């Protein structure tokens, strides 16, 4: 069961979006080209309430892209992005979505962020993705999407911990690189944890 996991390929993460990932749009044709190789395809969608605690705007005086804490966990304060049921939260135009078997929304609890597609950042609540994939017979995952240094990385690390074999499709990922080198370090961290980073 060759399984593809697409992470947060949403308008707000594309150039021109609220939390633009440089070259985020370039992965769309790459992903579309890969789809026929897979038996099972799932996706995540960052799906925040308008007052989500990861937004700088939810904390008066807090600058976007600054670091702080949210309910005891370290938190980067982001621009308002991927508010559920808004255009910014929709999948990228041009992304072939017809074969996506199931979409797992995440980040709905205003009090905690959820970079990983499997658990919130405190590992308190599961999205159900890991269980669902196991029930579907998936053992090995191929991961693509946005952003390499946040949601891709934490999804990969959680999937490894859950016992999946994990391959990172690096040409089908792009990152934020808030600090230069973040993406390279994220790929190295995934590799060190047991993921295979492939073209
Ligand atoms: C993401 C920051 C905030 C991501 C989501 O998809 O990588 N990054 N929310
Ligand atoms: Zn988010």
Superfamily of domain 3-198: Isochorismatase-like (3.40.50.850)
User: What pLDDT is recorded for position 199?
Assistant: 85
**To which residue do tokens 């709905």 refer?**
108
From 81, 108, 120, 178, mutation site for ligand 1 pocket: most ligand atoms within 8 A of C-beta: 81
8 is catalytic: yes
Beta-carbon neighbours within 5 Å of ion ligand 2: 46
What are the pocket residues of ligand 1 if the criterion is a CB atom closer than 6 Å to any ligand atom?
A: 8, 13, 46, 78, 115, 146-147, 150-151
User: What pLDDT is recorded for position 144?
Assistant: 99
Q: Where are the domains of the chain?
A: 3-198
Provide the 3-class DSSP secondary structure of residue 182: helix
82, 151, 173, 183: the active-site residue: 151
User: What pLDDT is recorded for position 168?
Assistant: 99
User: What pLDDT is recorded for position 68?
Assistant: 97
Ranges under pLDDT 70 in the chain: none
Structure tokens at 169: 């499709």
User: What pLDDT is recorded for position 122?
Assistant: 98
106 is catalytic: yes
**CA 14 – CA 23 distance, rounded (Å):** 7
First to last CA, the chain: 20
The pTM of this model reads 0.98
Counting from 1 in the atom list of ligand 1, the atom nearest the Cα of 7 is 6
User: What pLDDT is recorded for position 141?
Assistant: 98
């Amino acid at each position: 069961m060759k399984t593809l996991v697409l992470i947060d390929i949403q308008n707000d993460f594309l150039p021109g979006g609220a939390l633009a990932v440089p070259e985020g749009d370039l992965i769309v044709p790459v992903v579309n080209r890969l789809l026929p190789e897979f038996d099972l395809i799932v996706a995540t969608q960052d799906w925040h309430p308008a007052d989500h605690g990861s937004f700088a705007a939810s904390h008066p005086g807090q600058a976007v892209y600054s670091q702080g804490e949210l309910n005891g966990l370290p938190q980067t304060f982001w621009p308002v992005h991927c508010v559920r049921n808004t255009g910014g939260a929709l999948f990228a135009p041009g992304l072939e979505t017809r074969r996506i078997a199931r979409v797992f929304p995440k980040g709905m609890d205003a009090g905690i962020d959820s970079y990983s597609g499997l658990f919130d950042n405190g590992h308190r609540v599961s999205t159900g993705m890991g269980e669902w994939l196991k029930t579907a017979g998936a053992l090995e995952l191929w991961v693509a999407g946005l952003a390499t240094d946040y949601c891709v990385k934490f999804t990969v690390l959680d999937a490894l911990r859950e016992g999946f074999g994990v391959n990172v499709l690096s040409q089908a990922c792009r990152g934020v690189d808030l600090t230069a080198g973040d993406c390279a370090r994220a790929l190295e961290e995934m590799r060190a944890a047991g993921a295979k980073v492939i073209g």
